[in-house]
Amino acid sequence: MDDKRRAILDSTGHLLIEGGPGCGKTTIALLKALNAIETLDEGQRVLFLSFSRAAVRQITDRMQGLLTRSVRARLEVRTFHAFFLELVRSHGRLLVGHPCEFITPDRGREMHADFDGDKEAWEAEYRRMAVEEGRYVFEMLAAGAAQLLEGSRAVRDLYSSTYPVVIVDEFQDTSTDQWQAVKALCRRSTVICLADPDQRIFGHLPGVDEERIDHAVAHLQPSCFDLSADNHRSPESGLLSYANAVLHCQSHPRSKSVTVMPYSLLWGAVPCEVRAHEALLALQGKLEAELGREPTIAVLATTNRLVASVSETISKQNVTARHVLEPVEHILHWDPELAASAGFVVASILEWPGLDRLEALSRTLKAMADYYRTKFAKRAAKTTRATVTALERCIAQLQKGKPARTNAAKVLEAAYDDGLKLTGQPVPDWRDARSHLSGSAELDELFKQVRTLRLLHATDLLSLTLTQAWSPDGSYRDAAAQVRRALADAQLAQAEQDTVPVSLMNMHRSKGKEFDGVVIVEGNRHSRLLDAEWDDERIQANRRLLRVAITRARHRVVFVRPADALPLTR
């Protein structure tokens, strides 16, 4: 251990530790937590806050090799939102005089859709619901927690007494409300901030301020340490130095760890997605030979749209002039809210045997409309709004005894009339109900989304939830409502799933994860990495995002880029 790290462990009071990917910020913070835990009273713990379940998983994995079981039991690693949800649920009565209610993310998006894209009106409404009714959407949890910690000395003292040391990961990305909560805790708790200014990729989110680190220095007056010169993740590959060259648009010598596979824009040439398939298989083979084991690889792009397109392509065999590309098993990290909302449609079908025809079909069509409301809130597409209107019209027609007009409703009517026989075994019953999501464009989309529910680590969770909902009448009573509650809790509190050999996701979602290799795919017209027509601010934001994507890799990075792509370095 060097002198700088010994100084960190020996220091007292608030701390700010800065450094890039792989510099050892997390490791030294865990060792600092170990020192603190040895001095704590019975019942006290160290709180480690991070943004994502992926980051929480990385931290808990790191703990296994550094800390004993007894020490790990006194180190609580939570996401911000899981911690804030618990705080608001436990003490929200102090704000409105009665227990607060949490509106699940999927339900919040459905409500948002009813404002027809008027963002300001929706923000005013969810703030009103929190202040007047004690009903909190996902976006307001941090504000509610900050209000409780700032406004109630008893609550603040309770949490500071329980958590005398609070470690804040990715501090540069904290919002105003999250920072307010941390400031309230720092009155009695020691706060340790871990930050990397060059990984600030969420500046587009409300309340995230590029000067947040300066705010911490001014308010906390911490001891400051800079570990940015260190790199323990990929010290021999040169990936961090290359990523920094991309960030600052500097020259960089050719690196054996970075490969560019261009694709032609001429008609009839190998498409971008097929080229990505080639790159993935080539990288798999190279890393397996080098590492002597099956490698972990991430395929990344700037947009979900391109990620989904690549996923569809690598799921089937592709043939080029030189290769036959076999399908690749992979996990697609994709809109969890939409996946959950599609799951509610399946759950509503599981209720059919216990309901009459009108009630059963109305519930399922409403669940479908709610799915498309959620989608509209995310993308505000006119076709999506039209789908919601058509489904609501179908429900009204059914209630009047008139035949349905849309293909989706006709398919569901036929499925109900054929009879749904369930066994009480959740997994096969779920698959049986899910199989009815076909026969129309709307149902086909739902089927694609609901397949990704495994990304929420939901297989065991869904099985347990449905087992409890099974009724002797041969249906799953209130399955949709119970699945909704279970998945909402999982989204906030569930640890990230185990790493699988191949994962696909957008670059923002990759933050906090690590892989042996990374394939970065750039689209032709959409999903560009850089564009000469962009202003300086957008270009710099994308360079920061690229630095994050590149540094997810331990060993190798492959770029799949158009032939006319702008160079990333000089």
- CB-based burial label for 539 (10 Å; 0-12, 13-18, 19+): middle
Q: What is the pLDDT of residue 393?
A: 93
Q: What is the pLDDT of residue 376?
A: 78
- Kindly state the average pLDDT of the residues 416-441: 93
Q: β-strand 502-506 against 297-301: which pairing, if any?
A: parallel
Residues 538 and 530: their CA atoms lie apart, in Å, by: 9
Give the confidence band of 459 by pLDDT, cuts at 50, 70, 90. low
Give the contacts of 366 (CB within 8 A, at least 6 positions apart): 348, 391, 395
Which tens digits make up the pLDDT trace of 382-401? Answer: 678 889 999 999 999 999 99
Q: β-strand 515-521 against 553-562: which pairing, if any?
A: parallel
- CB-based burial label for 309 (10 Å; 0-12, 13-18, 19+): buried
With both helix axes pointing from N to C terminus, report the angle between 272-291 and 304-314 in degrees, rounded to the nearest 10: 70
- Kindly state the average pLDDT of the residues 169-187: 96
Give the confidence band of 229 by pLDDT, cuts at 50, 70, 90. confident
> In what helix (H) or strand (E) does residue 50 lie, and over which residues does it extend?
strand 46-50
Res. 381: pLDDT tops 70: no
Q: Which two structure tokens, joined as six digits, stand for 262? A: 């261009």
Q: What is the pLDDT of residue 265?
A: 87
How far are the Cα atoms of 233, 307, 424, 537 from residue 542, in angstroms, in the given order? 22, 17, 50, 9
Q: Please compute, for residue 18, the number of CA atoms within 13 A of its CA located in the half-sphere on the CB side.
A: 18
Beta partners for 251?
A: none
Give the contacts of 353 (CB within 8 A, at least 6 positions apart): 420, 421, 422, 473, 474, 475
Res. 517: pLDDT tops 80: yes
- Kindly state the average pLDDT of the residues 61-72: 88
Q: Please compute, for residue 100, the number of CA atoms within 13 A of its CA located in the half-sphere on the CB side.
A: 30
Q: Which two structure tokens, joined as six digits, stand for 318? A: 């592709």
Give the confidence band of 230 by pLDDT, cuts at 50, 70, 90. confident
Give the confidence band of 490 by pLDDT, cuts at 50, 70, 90. low
Which tens digits make up the pLDDT trace of 251-284? Answer: 998 888 999 999 998 887 899 999 999 999 999 9
Q: What is the pLDDT of residue 304?
A: 83
Q: What is the pLDDT of residue 105?
A: 79
Instruction: Tell me which residue of 546, 554, 548 sits closest to 516, measured CA to CA.
Output: 554
Residues 362 and 370: their CA atoms lie apart, in Å, by: 12
- Kindly state the average pLDDT of the residues 292-297: 97
Residues 151 and 93: their CA atoms lie apart, in Å, by: 13
Res. 458: pLDDT tops 80: no
Average pLDDT, the chain: 90
pTM for this predicted structure:
0.73
Q: What is the pLDDT of residue 66?
A: 87
Res. 522: pLDDT tops 90: yes
Instruction: Tell me which residue of 93, 137, 132 sits closest to 115, measured CA to CA.
Output: 137
Considering only residues 485 and 406, tell me which one the structure prediction assigns the higher pLDDT: 406
Which tens digits make up the pLDDT trace of 108-159? Answer: 878 887 887 678 899 999 999 999 999 999 899 999 999 999 999 999 999 9
